[in-house]
Amino acid sequence: LQALHQCSLVETCPNVDIALRIFLTLPVTIASCERSFSKLKLIKTYLRSSMGQCRLTNLGILSIENSIARQLNYEDIINEFALRKARK
């Protein structure tokens, strides 16, 4: 990609530049999908398929984004939940 820019070939072959940019992003996308499916497989095996799709999706997100989930302050969440009106 840098060689295209250094030789000023981007102006003559703009589609090659676009194709290379797309190609270079594919492995990252594929790796994150594989990681997601791997996590869902572990969760589904652990719980023996005894849950609905919504719960499986939410547990998958928590498992994949566990670094963010670990930073949550549970006191704030509990207080916010307690301040909301009761739903019937």
Would you give per-residue pLDDT tens digits along the chain (88 residues)?
566 666 666 666 777 777 777 777 766 555 566 667 777 777 666 665 566 777 777 877 888 788 887 888 888 888 888 888 766 5
State pTM to two decimals. 0.37
- Find out whether 15 and 23 touch, Cβ atoms under 8 Å: no
Question: Measured between alpha carbons, how far is residue 62 from residues 15, 21, 38, 53, 69 in Å?
Answer: 39, 31, 14, 14, 6
Chain centroid to Cα 83, Å, comes to 31
Q: How do the residues of the chain divide into helix, strand and coil, expressed in percent and rounded to 5? A: 75, 0, 25
- Helices and strands in the chain: count of H runs, count of E runs: 5, 0
